[in-house]
Amino acid sequence: MAIEGPAAIILAAGQGKRMKSDRAKVLHEVCGRPMISYVVDAARGAGAGTIVVVVGFAADQLYEALAGEPDVLFAEQKEQLGTGHAVKVCRPLLEGYEGPVMVLVGDEPLLRPEPLADLFDRQRRERADCLLGTAEVADPTGFGRILRDSAGRFLRIVEQRDCAPEERAIREINPSCYVFQLPALWDALDRIGTGNAQGEYYLTDAPEQLMRQGGKVRAQNVLAADDVLGVNTRQHLAQAEAIMQARIQDRWMTEGVSIIDPRNTHIDGRAVIGRDTVIRPFSVVSGDVTIGERCKIGPFAHLRAGTRLADDVEIGAFVDVNRSTIDSGTIARHLAYLGDATVGRDVNVGGGAITANFDGARKHPTMIGDGARLGANSVLVAPVEIGAGAVVAAGAVVPRGKVAPGATVAGVPARPMKPPAGE
Ligand code: UD1
Ligand code: CA
């Protein structure tokens, strides 16, 4: 198979022992998406034409999570013998391809395409056998450190475990963002050993090895600390979540959305929000939710996957909306649940009104016509259709079926009320 360059390799075979989890580390989610998805997007956005993901621990979980990514190939690393070995197992897939390959790790969800595209450019301009992007961080704990000579020339990478005490103080770190030229890398990987604290084949030894073979290696401090946060623990996961969440909110505020209390708001990376919408505190938008313009959300609202709000919709306190489409002007101001519902325009959803969409085995739809009014504490037992302009009285339980347009229903089970005498 012909490889479309430039190529990228993403290392994701490790278990991530420090996470203490049955799930592969790179599948833990940041703002609703698995970490590895961000890295795949960043590599693709940087220009990679082919992306090889190295899988091992819980490989099936990764195949499933990345199914449908057309440009992703998988290489299996049966035993996790180290990051150098992980790159080596990609060789059969990339055989015959000569050109740049970017190597990234799957546990850095904050990587962005632009700085990585810049690494590809730099490698090409320098004609380097290895262009290593580095970053200066406040706390280098856990990262490999960049060693330079007195003239500032790159010498090698030293893992934290193998650091001499004075080397630990170095704050220029290896974020594991490399561009190597193929085939020179293969030869270098064949020559690295396991003489280190973990007895593993370290990819971090490859740049030094390339220099020994007469190759050109450049380490350039061009990456931002926030972009290269490596997630090794649940604490790191929470840090990544906070930074990603701030980026998502920043984007929507730039687009004209008001977020009253950013720290107490959570918005999924897949959500789309229209201008002049206001999000009040303690609201959570999870999944691929679309919110129109001038909507009022919260406080304490929960909008879930598949929900679409048109313009001028109000979803207030303790209202949960799941897989529902709501047309403009509709208001659900307090204590309501709308699940699998299609709600028309200018509907009023009273406090405590809910769709009973789950019968214990299956979910069922609810249709609510334009201008309908649902009374306080009413229950709509799905599948059910409420006609346009219909009124459901407070406390009514509407059984499966239909309420005619313009009708008023009341009681348990709800029945049409007779129109007042004279009408
Ligand atoms: C690695 C680097 C370190 C760097 C840091 C940046 C090495 C030896 N060290 O350390 O210099 O500062 O990343 O985040 O490379 N993996 C495999 N197969 C293996 C081992 C690891 O696929 O045999 C994958 C893991 O799933 C993970 C990535 O490689 O996604 C990095 O492994 P990890 O154990 O997190 O390396 P660090 O200790 O963070
Ligand atoms: Ca790591």
Percent of the chain at pLDDT > 70 equals 99
> pTM for the whole thing?
0.93
- Ligand 1 midpoint to CA 126 (Å): 26
**13 Cβ closer than 6 Å to some ligand 1 atom:** yes
Q: What mean pLDDT comes out for the span 135-141?
A: 96
The ligand 1 atom nearest the CA atom of 201:
8
Q: What would the mean pLDDT of 291-313 be, rounded to a whole number?
A: 98
Tell me which ligand sits closest to the C-alpha of residue 14.
Answer: 1
Q: What is the mean pLDDT of the chain?
A: 97
Tokens of residue 261, six digits: 């209390």
CB 124 within 8 A of CB 130: no
Least distant ligand from the CA of 13: 1
50-75, pLDDT tens digit by residue? 999 999 999 999 999 999 999 999 99
422: pLDDT strictly greater than 70: no
**What confidence tens digit (pLDDT) does each residue in 217-251 have?**
999 999 999 999 999 999 999 999 999 999 999 99
What are the start-end ranges of the E strands in 142-256?
144-148, 154-158, 172-181, 217-223
DSSP structure class, residue 418? P
From the CB of residue 118, how many other CB atoms can be counted at a distance below 10 Å?
16
Instruction: Give Cα 311 distance to the centre of its chain.
Output: 26
Centre of ligand 1 to C-alpha 180, Å, is: 17
CB of 14 within 6 A of ligand 1: the answer is yes
Q: Please say if the pLDDT value at position 346 is more than 70.
A: yes
Q: What is the predicted pLDDT for the residue at 419?
A: 67
2: confidence class by pLDDT, cuts 50, 70, 90: confident
Pocket lining: 329 vs ligand 1, CB cutoff 6 Å:
no
The pLDDT of residue 234 is: 98
What ligand 1 atom has the least distance to the C-alpha of 203? Answer: 15
CB contact at 8 A, 372 and 342: no
- CA of residue 395 relative to chain centroid, distance: 41
Pull the structure tokens for residue 284.
Answer: 């959570």
Using CA positions, which residue lies closest to atom 37 of ligand 1? 143
Using the atom order of ligand 1, give the atom closest to the CA of residue 230. 14
Residues 6+ apart with CB under 8 A from 199: none
> 308: Cβ–Cβ under 8 A, 6 or more apart, which residues?
289, 290, 324, 325, 326
Ligand 2: centre distance to CA 230 (Å): 5
pLDDT band at 423 (very low <50, low <70, confident <90, very high): low
Residue 12 Cβ contacting ligand 1 at under 6 Å: yes
74 pairs with which residues across the strands? 53
Choice from 107, 171, 180, 223 to test ligand 1 binding pocket (greatest atom count within 8 A of CB): 107
CA angle, residues 197, 111, 252, in degrees to nearest 5? 150
For 261-288, the pLDDT digits (tens) are 999 999 999 999 999 999 999 999 999 9
Q: Ligand 1 within 6 A of 408 CB?
A: no
> Among 40, 57, 74, 105, which is best to mutate for testing ligand 1, by the most ligand atoms less than 8 A from CB?
105
What mean pLDDT is predicted for residues 130-155? 97
Tell me what pLDDT residue 297 has: 98
Per-residue confidence (pLDDT) for residue 418, from 0 to 100: 72
- pLDDT of 86 reads 98
Cα 144 to averaged position of ligand 2 atoms, centre (Å): 10
- Report which ligand 1 atom has the smallest distance to the Cα of 198: 8
Provide the pLDDT for residue 314: 98
Ligand 1 pocket, residue 207 CB under 6 Å: no
Which helix (H) or strand (E) covers residue 118, if one does? helix 113-126
Q: Which of 266, 302, 334, 364 is catalytic?
A: 334
pLDDT of residue 421: 67
Ligand 2 centroid to Cα of residue 188, in Å, is 22
Nearest CA to ligand 1 atom 28: 105
292 lines ligand 1 (CB under 6 A): no
Confidence at residue 199, expressed as pLDDT on a 0 to 100 scale: 94
pLDDT in tens, 73-119: 999 999 999 999 999 999 999 999 999 999 999 999 999 999 999 99
Among 328-332, 377-381, 416-420, the least confident range: 416-420
**105 CB near ligand 1 (under 6 Å):** yes
Banded model confidence at residue 1, pLDDT cuts 50, 70, 90: low
Active site residue 28: no
* Closest residue CA from atom 3 of ligand 1: 144
Q: What is the pLDDT of residues 362-401, one digit of tens each?
A: 999 999 999 999 999 999 999 999 999 999 999 999 999 9
Strands, sheet with 341-343, edge to edge from the N-terminal-most edge strand: 272-273, 290-291, 308-309, 325-326, 341-343, 366-368, 384-386, 401-403
Q: Residue type for 416, please?
A: P
Does residue 26 have its Cβ closer than 6 Å to ligand 1?
Answer: yes
Is the predicted pLDDT of residue 161 greater than 90, yes or no? yes
